[in-house]
Chains A and B, each alone.
Chain A
């Protein structure tokens, strides 16, 4: 076994510590970004749904503004976003370099995507059910929590899992601002130093993280849909 590894993955053996560190960096970025972005994303998604024309708190001005903002931010390529919002990152984190610093652009890059996903998930909730809730005297807040979020839960979990996969993809670019992570490992180590085995291992680990999060997502989607 050890000879097999030594033959085919010579560089990987040498930098085991660095690989473990990269995994932690990647997971740290994914988890913290997911937590922060889910709060903003869900808030924005709900706001988009309820302020839309015909929504329970219809408000064209707010809707149009958010709609455009989401579109603009989604259109900026992430690698440019990393550089673009460096001043904001410095303001929040104190530095614009490093793993924690990468979380700010990751959040900014994920929220528009996630809020759009949440919006679509909530729009799947049958309008008739919303109308029924209104006819029973539910207030907008009640409708949001007891109807939209409750009825939309399986869809919300599904789009969250999609977003996590998307987010894992984004973290691989964090290396550009010194954020480390598995993408950095694959490029800076594997590619630049021509250590293909490192690239392969980094890819494998990313795939495993993706599959595990998809599996967890699917499991909960199944468990919550009736």
Chain B
């Protein structure tokens, strides 16, 4: 649906030139909800603007629905843009138009008659759950309502793609999830392809099926959500995932707990991660039954990503070293990732290397 090929964006000023996007290639399939995550300044907003050429790339090509946008005349490009909806962090509604007026804005100059436009506006506002706010002005709406109007407006020309530039970043958590819920429904109902730019991994975790992680203008990691979440390769990705799953905070709390200060030499602290079907098999029980290893669960968390459960536990394994090694091998055979957490007094270090 969207194909970015070797996109480069360089901002030149008299003294400096800043390379905002460096050789990015991405491919977004039809019906995908594609998340692009990164800290501010990573170039993700610039990147998303190249998709509808609000930002012309210095080099590289943009294909949307098989059409190379970079070669189009201004007039043809404007027609293509009508098929690419976009919503923004600050909603960007027109203050002097009513809700209905805002939604009707992109419908002017189309073949629709006045009645058809009204019917379409009505239908769109119903879709986003704001039918009763038709005559209100944006200043009378809350942030979440404004974003719903913006979504209705972006969908007015029945686009196949919706670009979301930090669309939930100025909303509170509850409103954020209601907007994400709406986007998810639109994705299903209208087979809408959605690209989401965000600095919040929570958002990606909530609705995306694919994700790209950006840093310093480059995409450092991309793939489908579950595999990126369960086997992140880059440390930045791990950082994002840890903040989204709160495992770092949990580990810190657990590790500061006084009971951990006197582990015996047969005890070992570990974090284990398991994905999908493994979740349902009784791992802890079989460790005891097979190897006589007792597992003391200090912290546990299960996330459901794209209908795949992902479990994170922090545990203490107790047993002799040989038995423990056998147990680890058994876990590995069952596709469970185990990391031993080095723990010396109050020094906390999550061992990055997998022991097994």
Residues of A near any B CB (own CB < 8 A)? 126, 128-129, 131-139, 142, 146-147, 150-151, 153-154, 224-226
- Would you call B81 and A136 a contact (CB within 8 A)? yes
Q: What's the least CB distance linking A54 to chain B, in Å?
A: 12
Type the 1/0 row for B74-100, where 1 means its CB is closer than 8 Å to any CB of A: 110011111011101010111111000
Interface of A, helix, strand, loop or mixed by DSSP: helix
CA distance A150 to B101 in the complex (A): 12
- Would you call B78 and A139 a contact (CB within 8 A)? yes
Given A136-B106, A137-B106, A226-B139: A129 touches B79 (CB 8 Å cut-off): no
Q: Count chain A CB atoms within 10 A of each CB in B52, B105, B157 and give the residue with the most.
A: B105
B63 at the interface (CB under 8 A from A): no
Residues of A within 8 A of B90 (CB): 126, 128
Task: Select A132's contact among B74, B92, B108, B157, beta carbons within 8 Å.
Answer: B92
CA distance A134 to B56 in the complex (A): 13
CB within 8 Å of A: which of B287-326? none
Given A139-B78, A146-B108: A134 touches B54 (CB 8 Å cut-off): yes
B39 at the interface (CB under 8 A from A): no
- Would you call A132 and B88 a contact (CB within 8 A)? yes
Residues of A within 8 A of B157 (CB): 136-137
Task: Select A135's contact among B75, B81, B97, beta carbons within 8 Å.
Answer: B81
Task: Select B92's contact among A126, A137, A226, beta carbons within 8 Å.
Answer: A126
- Would you call A137 and B78 a contact (CB within 8 A)? yes
- Would you call A226 and B95 a contact (CB within 8 A)? yes
CA distance A147 to B93 in the complex (A): 11
Residues of B near any A CB (own CB < 8 A)? 52, 54, 74-75, 78-82, 84-86, 88, 90, 92-97, 105-106, 108-109, 137-139, 150, 153-154, 156-157, 163
| Chain B, Cβ-Cβ closest to A126 | B92
Given A134-B54, A135-B54: A129 touches B78 (CB 8 Å cut-off): no
Task: Select B93's contact among A129, A153, A154, beta carbons within 8 Å.
Answer: A129
Residues of B within 8 A of A135 (CB): 52, 54, 81, 84-86, 163
Q: What's the least CB distance linking A121 to chain B, in Å?
A: 13
- Would you call B54 and A131 a contact (CB within 8 A)? yes
Residues of B within 8 A of A154 (CB): 96
Given A131-B54, A136-B106: A153 touches B78 (CB 8 Å cut-off): no
Question: What are some 7 contacts across the A-B interface (CB < 8 A)?
Answer: A126-B92, A129-B93, A132-B92, A135-B163, A137-B78, A137-B81, A139-B75
- Would you call A132 and B86 a contact (CB within 8 A)? yes
